[in-house]
Structure 1
Amino acid sequence: MIPKRYLPILQWLPDYRRQTLASDLLAALIVTIMLIPQSLAYAMLAGLPPEVGLYASIAPLVIYAIFGTSRTLAVGPVAVVSLMTAAAVSQVAPQGSPEYLGAALVLALMSGLMLVLMGVARLGFLANFLSHPVISAFITASGLIIAASQLRHLLGVEASGHSLVPLLGSLAVALPATHWPTLLIGASTLAFLYAARRWLKPALVGLGVVERPADLLTKAAPIAAVAVTTLLTWGLGLDERGVAVVGAVPAGLPPLTLPGLEFGLWRELAMAALLISIVGFVESVSVGQTLAAKRRQRIDPDQELVGLGASNIAASFSGGMPVTGGFARSVVNFDAGAETPAAGAFTAIGIGLAALLLTPLIAYLPIATLAATIIVAVLSLVDVGAIRRTWNYSRSDFLAMLTTLAVTLLHGVESGILAGVGLSLALHLYRTSRPHSAVVGRVPGSEHFRNVQRHRVETDARLVILRVDESLYFANARFLEDTVMALAARQPGLEHLVLACQAVNGIDASALESLEAINTRLEDAGVTLHLAEVKGPVMDRLDQTDFSRALTGQVFLSTYDAWRALHGDGVDSAVACPAKASNDL
């Protein structure tokens, strides 16, 4: 019997009730209305036929309802993953060709397989290597690139490029060829969608509409834009005057597709598939955890890897494209009252009906309308304020953020995220290779110990207590040696040195060798080495080594115990705080 942990549907389906069904059906209806134009737009952003976006919004939603753990996450094509898909696939096949679509299917399959394998191996923690500043910068830069890439559809001109500079250069060259009817449609739609996003909800609430319906009506504004511009294009024959439209969209359910198995193609797409997997997973889990917390629910990140992976595999075998959990549609799903993942399955049914029945109506939909929809959606992802906040808080994080932003804008999405992750790891290694440490003294009349350079504390000429504020590993082991021996050299009367280890969560083999060297060198200098506040798991490992038997001093339960045992009569006067004193410990 398969455990419920691996099939989350078994956790909620037995308790499914009629009231839950009604809530899920209502949420599905609202999300379906929102998802139709989004699916078409994001397929276009990926350089794929519009029906691919619809196909990617059917089977993946059903599969996620079986394997996913979030009750309200709405899976489907999203802007950033669509951009990454276009950037990757365009490197191996010309846009519009059968090979281009085939490569997109392979990309979805590879991404799905990678996610499932990561989930089975319980590697959800790997997403932690993408720091928030790096993700924020990447999404901001991607949003700007996406918006710039859609300007050609608003202007009705030809332009190309997968980074900002080539895009803007291409647009500047093509600007004199602007198609004015297309620009009028695109600019009007853009203005309407922006105004609706910013002012429609307050206006409706001011007119007496309840807040929740007002919010849902605001989010449905793209449907109105699609309907009006499609009717105008059809009624005025604007397609015959040069306005680009979606054109004939095949009616029917997703076909069964078989992704190619060419080794060379898989090798070329491997890095892109890995990046799409990680970025999609981070975005999806962030949204899922946020929404789950509001209802005091939880999601399982490792099972989410399996759920998203299975969804992408389903997309690859049903004519779709890479998918993940989308922020906007998930929030709408949550606000509309979805209670279980069944809402996603019902949404898939709605999209399936649209693919069967509504495709003739889509033929006259202006591409400029979809471009305006994308621009308004992605500009909400641009967070310029995060750059200022990061600068004020952490210069190193700001450097990683700025690097990610610049490389993404100038060289493309893959290079940007690789540069951001690489620099973040390098900065982490640098910071932890020079761990903060402090000589501490006793706060008079207490059992507390604080930095002698920041507080008035008691010290002893024969005793030094060094607090180490970092786990010890190969990158900082030598730095600790140098710090300890420098202290011993500066204090000729030193007899005891205590390493206060309350912040040390681990000691690797390199750090252990350094501790052994410190112990030996201090013993040669007539100084006894002691440890204090060593955590249980760390002490368990030390007890299995020769170091614990060779230690010249003792291991104290607390720093105060070490002070009481080792403190003699030679108490110095309290040390005054320097002028730069702060609240730092």
Structure 2
Amino acid sequence: MRLDLKRYFPILDWGRRYTGETLTNDLVAAVIVTIMLIPQSLAYSLLAGLPPEIGLYASVAPLVLYAVFGTSRALAVGPVAVVSLMTGAAIGKLGITDPALMVGAAVTMAFLSGAMLLALGVFRLGFLANFLSHPVIAGFITASGILIAVSQMKHILGVKAGGDTLPEMLEALWHALPATNFWTLGIGLAALAFLFWGRKGLKPLLEKAGLRPKMAGIAAKAGPVAAVIATTGFVALFRLDGADVPIVGDIPRGFPGLKLPGFDLGQWAQMAVPALMLSIIGFVESVSVAQTFAARRRQRINPDQELIALGMSNFGSSLSGGLPVTGGFSRSVVNFDAGAETPAAGAFTAVGIGLAVMFLTPLLYFLPKATLAATIIVAVLSLVDFSILKKTWGYSFADFASVAATIAVTLVMGVEAGVSAGVGISIALHLYKTARPHVAEVGCVPGTEHFRNIRRHDVSTDPSIVTIRVDESLYFANARFLEDYVYDRVVKDKAIRHVVLMCPAVNDIDMSALESLEAINHRLHEMGITLHMSEIKGPVMDRLKKSHFLEEITGKVFLSQFAAMRELTSAPKPEPERAAAE
């Protein structure tokens, strides 16, 4: 069997068609994304409670590795808000305060995340992410956005305040209010005001200055860079570090060299579950972004290969001393709008970040932490979307319950508990709904061969025949429900001689459901009623043929419900027959 290397190394596919024009477009996009990514990387490292340079380290090797293994042409990989929050929360639960040990824990988290994502990709287990429904993800991201924004208020105020949940954070901020540093507060509020205004007001201003709309839009997204330059210059000019304004301070030049995670099995065990949650959340966010941009260019991505690419990216981040990474929406938007055509744009961005780490870090000494906090707050508030509550309330109470519970638990108990609650409630509600499947008694629509619910349509029926359409796969959780439904229906009507189970929506029948069908067949036979089935799908029929059920059923298995009604209504008198598949 020939190994298809392009499948595992997509660079071998798009790299063959790389041209000079593509190179130019990728380089332009890389320059723009690099400018945007530097303050973001610093900010998200701050969000995780780590030294600022860790975010820069996480923005080099992952981009290069994604360019080799990734299938999205526009996705930009690096630290993102939600993943950084989850990383910080996981490290916080370890009870360590030494910065070096915290960095070591982040490196371990990135390594574990990489290993898990890689394993999921190799074994094609990306479907596990489906257990996080869109409403649950929306609720979690909304709650996380609130937590992130509130957590950054301590940097806006220039105070020390902790807490992992919303009540803890608010209480800590309240007690710390008297210690507010007003220079820091002024800088933070000014940065917030500029960044909020810049989201809508900067682009029109740049267009008036002569920039084309597309370039003005891209330049407007680099607004945080302007805030960084202005506030850094202000603090340096007036030496406000002497007024206790918290600043980034010394950022080491260059890279720390290759780092292996610590092999503390106890720490690994503590971080395994948070790493798995982080991996799945990051994968879902990344794939959603990648699919959005791929659709715009009529391209496709491979989710299983994306798992491998993200796994390798996290390995790269771990070995270079960084924190966990995934595909980010905001930087991917800039990358896409700037004209990036291939993942090589990410590799060029990595070169730009690398040059910044080597030569520009001394310029960031006076960068106030309040500016980074403002950057985070403005970025994450766009993630907060309470409209999902209104949408789900009007459409599905089960989805509303999942969203509301996820938001409430995340805010009150923390991010890990919120994800667990969302997944648990989603699975529990799914089991509840499938345990009580929609079952309808149907009749024939006059003049057609179609059968519809007798309660919704004007249909013709035969008093001696009851046709029950089952709208769910049959398994252990709902098998007894079907038994009770059939028995309750037939005992009320002495005229019934035939029961037909119509199964167009049944995709599976497990062993428990098979035993229930056998019990229904046996009990109906004792009551003088014949059991038939219709419209069984091929794979389900194949499985039934491996059992004795088709030999024991008292009636027939019909290819269509119309054929069943035509034969049963024309029969002179109902007599039990051996099963015969049409």
TM-score range, shorter chain: over 0.9
Equivalent position amino acid for 1:489 in 2? V
- Aligned pairs (5 A) from 1:323-338: 323-338=325-340
Asked whether the 8 Å contact 1:433–1:476 carries over to 2, the reply is yes
Q: Which residue of 2 aligns with 1:72?
A: 74
Among 468, 471, 475, the residue aligned to 2:470: 468
Bigger CA drift: 561-570 or 251-260? 561-570
- Aligned pairs (5 A) from 1:203-282: 203-205=205-207, 209-282=211-284
Offset of residue 205 of structure 1: 4.6
- Rate the CA distance shift 1:208–1:361 in 2: closer, same or farther, 3 A: closer
- Aligned pairs (5 A) from 1:171-190: 171-190=173-192
Q: Which residue of 1 aligns with 2:580?
A: none
> Which runs of 5 or more structure 1 residues have no equivalent in the other structure?
571-585
Offset of residue 6 of structure 1: 1.2
Q: Which residue of 1 aligns with 2:377?
A: 375
Equivalent position SS for 2:6: coil
Give the Cα–Cα distance (whole angstroms) in 2 for the partners of residues 66 and 492 of structure 1: 71
Give the Cα–Cα distance (whole angstroms) in 2 for the partners of residues 171 and 482 of structure 1: 57
Asked whether the 8 Å contact 1:93–1:100 carries over to 2, the reply is no
Equivalent position amino acid for 2:340 in 1? A
Bigger CA drift: 530-539 or 161-170? 530-539
Among 527, 530, 533, the residue aligned to 1:531: 533
Asked whether the 8 Å contact 2:91–2:105 carries over to 1, the reply is yes
Bigger CA drift: 126-135 or 555-564? 555-564
Equivalent position amino acid for 1:310 in 2? M
Equivalent position SS for 2:320: coil
Q: Which residue of 2 aligns with 1:283?
A: 285
Equivalent position amino acid for 1:325 in 2? G
Q: Which residue of 2 aligns with 1:575?
A: none
Q: Which residue of 1 aligns with 2:144?
A: 142
Equivalent position SS for 1:4: helix
Q: Which residue of 2 aligns with 1:352?
A: 354
Offset of residue 2 of structure 1: 5.7
Asked whether the 8 Å contact 2:51–2:99 carries over to 1, the reply is no
Q: Which residue of 1 aligns with 2:576?
A: none
Residue 22 of structure 1 pairs with residue 24 of structure 2? yes
Give the Cα–Cα distance (whole angstroms) in 1 for the partners of residues 5 and 497 of structure 2: 60
Asked whether the 8 Å contact 1:556–1:562 carries over to 2, the reply is yes
| Percent of residue pairs bearing the same amino acid type | 61
**Residues 261-282 of structure 1: CA deviation (Å, up to 9, x unaligned):** 0111101111111111111001
Equivalent position amino acid for 1:439 in 2? E
Residue 43 of structure 1 pairs with residue 45 of structure 2? yes
Asked whether the 8 Å contact 1:258–1:317 carries over to 2, the reply is yes
Asked whether the 8 Å contact 1:43–1:52 carries over to 2, the reply is yes
**Residues 139-183 of structure 1: CA deviation (Å, up to 9, x unaligned):** 000000000000000001110011110000000001111111100
Give the Cα–Cα distance (whole angstroms) in 2 for the partners of residues 282 and 330 of structure 1: 15
Among 381, 390, 398, the residue aligned to 1:388: 390
Residue 103 of structure 1 pairs with residue 74 of structure 2? no
The root-mean-square deviation of aligned C-alpha atoms, in Å, is 1.3
- Rate the CA distance shift 1:510–1:479 in 2: closer, same or farther, 3 A: same
Give the Cα–Cα distance (whole angstroms) in 1 for the partners of residues 249 and 285 of structure 2: 32
Asked whether the 8 Å contact 1:64–1:308 carries over to 2, the reply is yes
Equivalent position SS for 1:255: coil
Equivalent position SS for 2:8: coil
Asked whether the 8 Å contact 2:22–2:341 carries over to 1, the reply is yes
Give the Cα–Cα distance (whole angstroms) in 2 for the partners of residues 553 and 254 of structure 1: 76
**Residues 296-347 of structure 1: CA deviation (Å, up to 9, x unaligned):** 1111111111110111111111010000000111111111111111111111
> Which runs of 5 or more structure 2 residues have no equivalent in the other structure?
573-582
Equivalent position amino acid for 1:133 in 2? P
Equivalent position amino acid for 2:479 in 1? A
Q: Which residue of 2 aligns with 1:580?
A: none
Q: Which residue of 2 aligns with 1:573?
A: none
Asked whether the 8 Å contact 2:188–2:374 carries over to 1, the reply is yes
Asked whether the 8 Å contact 1:205–1:214 carries over to 2, the reply is yes
**Residues 179-232 of structure 1: CA deviation (Å, up to 9, x unaligned):** 111000000000100011133234545666432112101101101000111111
Bigger CA drift: 202-211 or 155-164? 202-211
Q: Which residue of 2 aligns with 1:577?
A: none
- Rate the CA distance shift 1:374–1:96 in 2: closer, same or farther, 3 A: farther
**Residues 105-162 of structure 1: CA deviation (Å, up to 9, x unaligned):** 1111011101101111100000000011111110000000000000000001110011
Asked whether the 8 Å contact 1:93–1:103 carries over to 2, the reply is no
Give the Cα–Cα distance (whole angstroms) in 1 for the partners of residues 538 and 213 of structure 2: 53
Residue 562 of structure 1 pairs with residue 564 of structure 2? yes
Give the Cα–Cα distance (whole angstroms) in 1 for the partners of residues 210 and 486 of structure 2: 70
Number of residue pairs matched by the alignment? 570
Q: Which residue of 2 aligns with 1:574?
A: none
Bigger CA drift: 123-132 or 526-535? 526-535
Equivalent position SS for 2:152: helix
Give the Cα–Cα distance (whole angstroms) in 2 for the partners of residues 121 and 45 of structure 1: 33
- Rate the CA distance shift 1:322–1:524 in 2: closer, same or farther, 3 A: same
Residue 361 of structure 1 pairs with residue 363 of structure 2? yes
**Residues 59-102 of structure 1: CA deviation (Å, up to 9, x unaligned):** 01111111111111100000000000000011214334321111
- Rate the CA distance shift 1:20–1:254 in 2: closer, same or farther, 3 A: farther
Among 71, 94, 104, the residue aligned to 1:92: 94
Equivalent position SS for 1:5: helix
Give the Cα–Cα distance (whole angstroms) in 2 for the partners of residues 528 and 290 of structure 1: 53
Among 292, 295, 303, the residue aligned to 2:294: 292
Asked whether the 8 Å contact 1:27–1:337 carries over to 2, the reply is yes
Asked whether the 8 Å contact 1:47–1:95 carries over to 2, the reply is no
Equivalent position SS for 1:256: coil
Give the Cα–Cα distance (whole angstroms) in 1 for the partners of residues 305 and 156 of structure 2: 41
Bigger CA drift: 75-84 or 63-72? 63-72
